[in-house]
Structure 1
């Protein structure tokens, strides 16, 4: 078995058809079929179950495919490492939560594009849980997430510390009003939102009964806060920017309760790549983090 065999297995699994896989691979169907048959004979197990409409992966095929994706990624990284000459270039995939993109990254991205035009940089938005898993499974090279993370195999570096505030409808003048209003809806992005647990913890600390209401976007959260559906937690600086015109009330939080740490994470084995290192350096230079 070699990397070309894995490439063929991946294509057949994707299309569910030897014929369509052959078209993608610029091969004839008989060659694809023969390679799959030889691989199955070598391994001693069927990789595909044949049916009237094509093929599907067997249990053994599913297990092989899970390794195939990782092997292809590792192969690509090996090629990139061999070509590494200290000059940032090639593809760089960075993830971030939405508040960090809005508040901190625009100048970093602009400076990076100016200094390293040979790097094809892409930014993926997501919640903290999603982004951590994407760095671990090598879909992303690095990501800005809520910290601390403390996951094996990851390097994390604190880069930003945000002062966060409780945000409510404009007519709600104090936290005492919220405390006396019965159940309050805690508006968050989704299950993996880094502010979800912090918001409910803060509300409970102030004696405010609450129930979580996940929403699809910051725009939806803003509309619901303005109309009195519930309250949310946001970086204070975001309210001076993207939410500047919002009709809301801002409630300051005491001490470290009102602070959120953002860390930049990457896999420990990826630290030698120039494009990623250069990005980490620029991020570090923009940091407002002090211990």
Structure 2
């Protein structure tokens, strides 16, 4: 019985697919099959029931899985106990979104590139609901969310920062420079990113709460929305972190309207999975980086 066989077994058990496990581990599928057969031979037990093109854990497989998880966790702890953080090695698949990747992670990515060269980061662009599903399925190790809630079934995590939201327009827009309420926005052209983005969905809910049907122009990305607003196509609600350059240069102005909801950026993971040393390092460094951006808003992580 070898650790690499146990790791392969755990990955197949998570995905219930030899093909997906091979892709996750960057192995040929024949390698995955060979390691599972070798492990079954060593244990003198059948770990997976293979029928009709699908697989499932046998009773023996379920029992061995709990042992495998504990043995792999202990192996990680043993390696971490004698390794300097800079010497840690491993890969992380992280679900994220455009605004966090572009505006919150630049310093963090630079840090990992220079200080932790053995850690390979794979960033997967996805909306919050997709990230949660991928975490539950075992496709992602960690995931960034930006939501109005801070509790998600089956997930654990840390709240990083409260994200301020600003309604913006071109400087010459008719709404610039005067107090506004929601009714003032209903006859305006409103530019939005793709559906599933939390601040877009909550803004749309606020605008339609009285039965109104506002004019929405979906432009897909935050960058496309900003360019559209600057060119006079309409107004938009966006995270403040994405607007610093444009508001300083005067390309966009903040309108005097505050949203009746609050969003928080968070880093989450499956609650039934113990963080590996590499995952724990990423969480700790993310919290540190966010604290430097917003000193009062990022609590320390609790494992």
TM-score tier (shorter) = 0.5 to 0.7
Q: Is the 8 A contact 2:247 2:253 kept in 1?
A: no
TM-score by length of 1: 0.66
CA contact (8 A) 1:168 1:230 kept: yes
The structural deviation recorded for 1:82 is: 5.2
In structure 1, C-alpha distance between the alignment counterparts of 2:229 and 2:56, rounded to whole Å:
45
| Structure 1 residue corresponding to 2:267, chosen from 259, 264, 268 | 264
Q: Label 1:101 to 1:46 Cα distance change in 2 as closer, same or farther (>3 A).
A: closer
Structure 1 runs (4+) deviating above 6 angstroms are 73-79, 205-208
Determine the C-alpha separation between the residues in 2 that align with 1:184 and 1:10: 52
CA distance in 1, matches of 2:66, 2:190: 42
CA contact (8 A) 2:163 2:239 kept: yes
- CA displacement at 1:163 relative to structure 2: 1.6
How do 1:76-155 and structure 2 match up within 5 A?
A: 81=73, 83-84=75-76, 85-86=79-80, 87=83, 88-147=88-147, 148-155=149-156
User: Which has the higher Rg, Structure 1 or Structure 2?
Assistant: 1
1:220 to 217, 224, 232: 224
Deviation of 1:145 (Å): 0.8
Query: Which whole-Å CA distance do the structure 1 matches of 2:250 and 2:211 have between them?
Result: 26
CA distance in 1, matches of 2:75, 2:130: 30
User: Contact (CA 8 Å) 1:154, 1:266: kept in 2 or not?
Assistant: yes
Q: Is the 8 A contact 2:180 2:257 kept in 1?
A: no
Deviation readout 1:17-71 (Å, 9 max, x if unpaired): xxxxxx9638xxxxxxxxxxxxxxx96x961xxxxxxxxx5xxx3xx3899xxx9
Post-superposition offset of 1:75: 11
Matched, 1:282 2:285: yes
Counterparts of 1:226 and 1:189 in 2: how far apart (Å)? 15
Unaligned runs of 5+ in 1: 15-22, 27-41, 48-56
CA distance in 2, matches of 1:224, 1:74: 53
Give the paired residue count.
247
Q: Is the 8 A contact 1:186 1:200 kept in 2?
A: no
The 1:275/1:153 distance shift into structure 2, 3 A limit, reads: same
Q: CA shift at 1:178, angstroms? A: 8.7
TM-score by length of 2: 0.64
After TM superposition, list the pairs within 5 Å mapping 1:22-37 onto structure 2. 25=30
Query: For the Cα contact (< 8 Å) 2:180–2:256, is it kept in 1?
Result: no
Root-mean-square deviation (CA, aligned residues, Å) is 4.4
TM superposition shift of 1:106: 1.2
> Using a 3 Å threshold, how does the CA distance of structure 1 residues 224 and 246 change in structure 2: closer, same or farther?
farther
